[in-house]
Amino acid sequence: MTGGAEVNTREQAAWAALATVLDPEVPVLSVCDLGIVREVVCDAAGTQVVLTPTYSGCPATEVIADSVRVALVAAGLGPVTVSHRLAPAWTTDWISELGRERLLAYGIAPPGQACGSELSSPIRLRPRNLPCPRCGSLQTERLSAFGSTACKALHRCLECREPFEHFKPI
């Protein structure tokens, strides 16, 4: 096995370990689903991971970095260095399709596209026709701009009467 193939195998193992690290605020999403893992490099010195927090003041940033270290060391990929990159800023567009499906199954309406490909697309602070993640009805209303975390808003379905959170597109 050449050195390059070994690094590739270690990086694949690192990505597999990272896929098991769950977001502490939305525990159905891995850090990979969330799109905050920006870079993984494995070399003779160990494993370096670059994370982009969902926002610079996110209270879960330290917990996530610690969880990343623990998972990679447990996978035999230590020593581990975790750094943070703030630019480009994270966007909900980085959430994977699997992550969006997991949000919906968990009862959180996934975000729409934040950075539209069309410059003429208006930015909507209050999304229109937000489907209820439980029954699919478009008859919903926003109750509060903030849910359990700053990145989510609280909504209610007028059809099934169930409250739900919406992951805000940013």
For the chain, the domain total comes to 2
35 in any annotated domain: yes
18/73 same-domain check = yes
Q: Tell me whether residue 97 is in a domain.
A: no
Q: What is the percentage of the chain residues whose pLDDT exceeds 70?
A: 88
Residues 58 and 130 in one domain: no
144 lies in some domain: yes
Q: Do 155 and 107 belong to one domain?
A: yes
For the cut 90, the answer to whether the pLDDT of residue 58 exceeds it is no
Using the CB atoms, write b or e for 74-84: b if 16+ within 10 Å: ebebeebebee
State the distance between the two ends of the chain, measured CA to CA, in whole angstroms: 44
Judge if 135 and 69 occupy the same domain.
no
Residues 68 and 36 in one domain: yes
pLDDT score recorded for residue 115: 65
pLDDT digits (tens, 9 = 90+) for 83-94: 999 999 999 999
Q: What are phi and psi of 127, to 5 degrees?
A: -60, 145
**Per the domain annotation, does 107 fall within a domain?**
yes
Q: Is residue 109 domain-resident?
A: yes
Query: Is the model more confident about 84 or about 115?
Result: 84
pLDDT tens-digit profile of 155-165?
Answer: 999 999 999 99
Q: Which domain holds residue 44?
A: 3-84
User: Is the model's pLDDT at 71 over the cut of 70?
Assistant: yes
The answer to the question of residue 92 being in a domain is no
Asked if residue 46 is part of any domain, the answer here is yes
Q: What is the CA radius of gyration of the chain?
A: 18
Q: Are residues 153 and 108 in the same domain?
A: yes
Domain match, 33 and 76 both: yes
Assess if residue 96 is contained within a domain: no
78 and 139, same domain (yes or no): no
Q: Are residues 107 and 77 in the same domain?
A: no
Residue 140: its pLDDT value, please?
95
- Please tell me whether residues 22 and 77 are part of one structural domain: yes
Does the pLDDT value for residue 118 go beyond 50? no
What was the pLDDT predicted at 114? 73
pLDDT band at 127 (very low <50, low <70, confident <90, very high): low
44 and 109 in a common domain: no
Q: How far apart, in Å, are the Cα atoms of 91 and each of 68, 94, 141?
A: 20, 6, 24
Q: Is the pLDDT of residue 4 over 70?
A: no
Say yes or no: 7 and 78 in one domain.
Answer: yes
